[in-house]
Structure 1
Amino acid sequence: MTSSTRRRSTPASSPETSAALYLRRSSRKDLGANRSLREQETECRALAARLGLDVVEVYEEQEGTGASMRSRKRRPKWEQALADLDAGDRFRTVIVWALDRADRRGADVLAGLLTRHAATGRRILGVDGTDTSDERQRLATIIRGEIAREEAENIAKRVTRTKRTRRADGRWLGGRPPFGLRVVEGRVEPDPDTAPVARRIADEVLSGRSLWSIAADLNAEEIPSPSGVVKGWRVNSLSQILRAPAFAGLQSVRERKPSGGWPAIADVYLDEETRRPVSVGVGVITPAERSRILAALESRTREDARDVRRGKREVRSLLGDVLRCASCGGRTSVSGSGARKSYRCAALATGRECAAPFTAPRDALESYVGERFLTTLSTLEPSDDLLVEVAARWVARVEPGALADRQEAEDAVAALDADLARARRLAVSGVLTEEEAAEEMSRLRRLRVEAVDRLAALPTPAIDVSPLLDLVQSREAWEGLPVDERRSLLPLAIHEIRVLRASGRGVRFRPDERVEIIWHA
């Protein structure tokens, strides 16, 4: 079921006597206390009728959308329901089946919600008895919200443990397998319908053909892409298929990025004891062929090259994260060799359409952007947040161990502060007896003192911004940084760089006329 909003077509009553329903179900497999959307709606409408409220809108969240902080998934219908409730021009009551079905982000989020509703006369009612406008329920609601948060965390941990076990056993973890494969009894095997095409793709890469030419042939022959679209083959889709560990019958694993997202391509999962790849079935290609294919792909890569030993990318271009084509807004790639390398609109390499794709000499463009970046830094006040952040990154480079130790110690103090706050709430609510609360609080305070002492004993690396205010010094420091570190610094100040197409063939590159730098506000 997809997210949807159903609005009543007949004239609504006043906002004070109107209500909206919010419905969300975690999973089709989660039975028991988890009601279907139709069951939830029936019970919510019954509550509205008992209270004399006219239901004017129904918000239905997509199935599987997480309500917890851990899931990091957006819930657009819940966000919309809360925004419309705050507006209050159509309704001032939202009815849910149970508050933890709507929000499991814990006491901090709920406390703000309750305070806002008490001040504005809005409310969330639950079939479970929740009433966010009732001051007498405030503490109990917060405690229930905290219990729901802990339950969500525990569920997530159990799921993680289950996946770890299934991964180590070589079982497919779920989702659609790579093109050319199907899942049978928890293991992958070649799909009779699509495996021949998948094998052809692999053979052509092994023979030296480029992904662009393979995609062009598949589109010309009108062979449906993995999504079923005719002429839908792209270089990126071919690359993802070939790089997927399961394509070679190998188990995969993904590590969440610091931003909260997930990488598009998974890594090969290694057994924790033997450090050898774990099989998840029979692939379209063999692991040995996969190694040859990856080597072939990497040898042709213009933008980046994979560092096999560390499992990270060795950055070859400075502007890849922020550079865009001014015509189509698309990302860019690097072409050419030696001193003649150029940035260009990626549409030229992937077969996408662009009305005015650009090319620009790499060295000249990077030099221009680097100089603009350093000049901007030199004009800032010493206390400016951007200067401090750039200087801190430099400290992290020259003293990574010291910063990591401090961060770990600070996290330990913060975690104990959170435990103390939670213990106080549980004591006030009566969940803990007076004796239990005294014992727990004493233990946590003792641990916090020890954590604070450990933090105090660690040296604080000095963050000196003065070199960044001197263009001569900053230029020397900039040139001494590896490309990947310079690349990570640019997005701190630059939102996007747009490059226009040259006015004519052979026209000299003038960055002040063709390059627009969009700075962060």
Structure 2
Amino acid sequence: MHQDTICDLYLRLSLDRDGKTAIERQEADCRAWAERNGLTVRKVHIDRGRSGYKSVERKGFDSALAAVTAGVVGTLVVWKLDRLSRKGIGQVGQVLDDIEETGGRLVSVIDRVDTSNDSDRAVVAMLAELARTESKNLGTRVSHAKRYLRSKGQWIGGQPPYGLLVDPKTKKLTHDPQHAVYARLIADEALAGTSLVNIARMLNEYEVLSARGGQWNAASIMQLLRSPAFAGLMPETETVESDDGERKYKSRVFPYRDPETMDTVEIGEGIITVREREKIIRQLEARTFVHAGRRRPKPEGTALLTGLIFCGVPGCERRMHRVGNSYQCMARRAGNQCPGASALADRVDDYVVERFLAKLPALEPDDPLVVAIADRWVHRTDPETFAKRDAIKAEIDDEEARLADLEDARYVRGEFKGAAAVERYNRLAERLRERMDGLRADFAKLPMPSVDVSPMLDGELLREAWKASEDADRRGRLSLAIDRVKVSKGKRGQRFIPEQRVRIESAALDEDMTL
């Protein structure tokens, strides 16, 4: 088969530090194995700084698995099985099933495991569970080390709050001579009752950069003021244990208490005192609420165009949210430097909805917008199939580009001269054509999901369905046809004219096409 002589490599490293197994070494060993076994490496998928134990997104892992399960390659090579996953046989077993279903195989170079051998599957199961146990034990050792450092009042790692530094000798917090004065200014303004937005605006106007070098906003100010370390107290992040035994960090940070005395532990100098921190937190809690573990501004409802509406001011184009009766630019509300577009929400909603309901029934079935709507809808119904189709299509495009370059090399650049060179060209070209034929055959075998968009093109049915829907479903319908709704800034005292200030960018490929 066309994919039997081609393989992909998957490389992963949780922390790319000295003393760790470098990505480069993994790739060298995997390529050497592929060469010894007569395989051509097609692509290298890499996840740097991504854990194989925690539930985190791994784009390299996803693309590697899609390639082998779609039949783009016949072999997936990893340096060691724990590079693939540290979640045990639960995840690894599913990966093996998916690979074997398409006739592929998984190879671990260091473990000397090849799943094309039936006996190796038991070895894979054992190694997978060993990797999971090792990660769990490592987490336990790290927890013990952190507990020891906390008992000594020493900083356990990470970036300290703005305005503070870690003393390299004592491992305790001390004032940053460059930023402590601004940190104290933030605290004084908060104690005086100044809103977080106005504090952020003041800092941005005077070009005082945040800890990460960007602009301040209300969220970053709140996070700083609520940090226990900002008051010289040892911080601790709340964690929860999932069903599979994995411990996950949540967003809430609180003062650490010694498990024996239950007293808070000092970590060095703070920008504010403990009493000042308590006062600031009381003020913040009066103006905010807790949702999904995060403290947010008081609720103001979910609007129809949430996630679709953006500020149309050039250079800003940040999201807008409904605040009271208006959609307002969140960059402006967060204290960033933007003049801030705003418009009456009901007027914008009515305009966008009427354009949507009137535009769709007027379209022909082959209109680019109808095609785009159908494409988005069908991708929502079966994302896994489309991941495989996309992987094969991308490989076909790459092989076509290689063949075109090969033909240019012979007929344009004249690089193949003489009988032996022409024979080599013919061999290479034939191999590429066979590869493309095999890929196209695999592509044709994959099902092509379809949807019936005709109800959206029937004006009466569309309006009836709209009236019977909730806002969440209405947003879903709008997002099939609309990419963005942009609202430009109006002039004070001037009547709101939607046609002049609202631009609806459709999902059609033509960027100039608006609803």
TM-score over 0.5 for the pair: yes
Distance 1:351 1:275, change over 3 A: same
Letter in 2 for 1:225: S
Structure 1: state its 5+ residue gaps: 1-12, 336-340, 362-489, 508-521
Report the count of equivalent residues: 350
1:45 to 31, 41, 44: 31
Question: 1:334-379: CA deviations, max 9, x gaps?
Answer: 67xxxxx999765553245597535679xxxxxxxxxxxxxxxxxx
Distance 1:48 1:360, change over 3 A: closer
Distance 1:116 1:348, change over 3 A: closer
2:334 to 345, 350, 355: 350
Whether the aligned pair in 2 keeps the contact of 1:44 and 1:95 (CA below 8 Å) is yes
- With a CA cutoff of 8 Å and minimum separation of 6, indicate the structure with the bigger relative contact order: 2
Question: 1:55-87: CA deviations, max 9, x gaps?
Answer: 121122112x1111xx21222111111111112
Question: 1:230-278: CA deviations, max 9, x gaps?
Answer: xx12122112111111111111122236898744451222222333221
Distance 2:46 2:100 in 1: 26
Aligned to 2:192: 207
Question: 1:390-429: CA deviations, max 9, x gaps?
Answer: xxxxxxxxxxxxxxxxxxxxxxxxxxxxxxxxxxxxxxxx
Distance 1:314 1:264, change over 3 A: closer
Aligned to 1:280: 267
Q: Identity across aligned pairs (percent)? A: 35
Aligned to 1:122: 104
Aligned to 1:291: 278
Whether the aligned pair in 2 keeps the contact of 1:324 and 1:345 (CA below 8 Å) is no
Whether the aligned pair in 2 keeps the contact of 1:20 and 1:93 (CA below 8 Å) is yes
Matches within 5 A, 1:96-107: 96-107=78-89
Letter in 1 for 2:193: G
Distance 1:94 1:294, change over 3 A: same
Distance 1:305 1:138, change over 3 A: closer
Distance 2:92 2:162 in 1: 44
Whether the aligned pair in 2 keeps the contact of 1:124 and 1:132 (CA below 8 Å) is yes
Whether the aligned pair in 2 keeps the contact of 1:247 and 1:284 (CA below 8 Å) is yes
Letter in 2 for 1:26: S
Distance 1:45 1:320 in 2: 52
Aligned to 1:197: 182
Letter in 2 for 1:158: R
Residue 22 of structure 1: how far off its partner (Å): 1.7
Distance 1:356 1:497 in 2: 25
Residue 176 of structure 1: how far off its partner (Å): 1.1
Structure 2: state its 5+ residue gaps: 311-317, 347-469, 479-484, 496-515
Letter in 2 for 1:279: E
Distance 2:140 2:472 in 1: 34
Residue 47 of structure 1: how far off its partner (Å): 0.6
Residue 206 of structure 1: how far off its partner (Å): 2.1
Whether the aligned pair in 2 keeps the contact of 1:255 and 1:262 (CA below 8 Å) is yes
2:42 to 53, 56, 71: 56
Aligned to 1:428: none
Distance 2:21 2:154 in 1: 30
Structure 2-normalised TM-score? 0.58
Distance 1:162 1:150 in 2: 19
Cα RMSD for the two superposed structures: 4.0
Aligned to 2:161: 178
Distance 1:354 1:327 in 2: 17
Aligned to 2:446: none
Distance 1:313 1:123 in 2: 47
Matches within 5 A, 1:32-431: 34-63=20-49, 65-68=50-53, 71-89=54-72, 91-127=73-109, 128-185=111-168, 186-229=171-214, 232-256=215-239, 262-299=249-286, 301=287, 304-305=288-289, 317=299, 319=301, 324=306, 327-328=309-310, 330=319, 332=321, 346-347=330-331, 349-351=333-335, 357=342
SS in 1 for 2:285: helix
Distance 1:223 1:183, change over 3 A: same
Whether the aligned pair in 2 keeps the contact of 1:240 and 1:265 (CA below 8 Å) is no
Distance 1:266 1:286 in 2: 17
Distance 1:497 1:274 in 2: 57
Distance 2:125 2:304 in 1: 43
Distance 1:322 1:285 in 2: 42
Matches within 5 A, 1:412-451: none
Distance 1:55 1:312 in 2: 45
Distance 1:249 1:226, change over 3 A: same
Q: Which 4+ stretches in 1 moved above 6 angstroms?
A: 257-261, 311-315, 320-323, 341-345, 490-501, 503-507
Question: 1:428-470: CA deviations, max 9, x gaps?
Answer: xxxxxxxxxxxxxxxxxxxxxxxxxxxxxxxxxxxxxxxxxxx
Letter in 1 for 2:197: W
Whether the aligned pair in 2 keeps the contact of 1:345 and 1:358 (CA below 8 Å) is no
Distance 1:278 1:323 in 2: 47
Distance 2:477 2:273 in 1: 42
Letter in 2 for 1:234: N
Distance 1:116 1:162, change over 3 A: same
SS in 1 for 2:8: strand
Distance 2:80 2:158 in 1: 29
Letter in 2 for 1:327: I
Structure 1-normalised TM-score? 0.58
Letter in 1 for 2:14: S
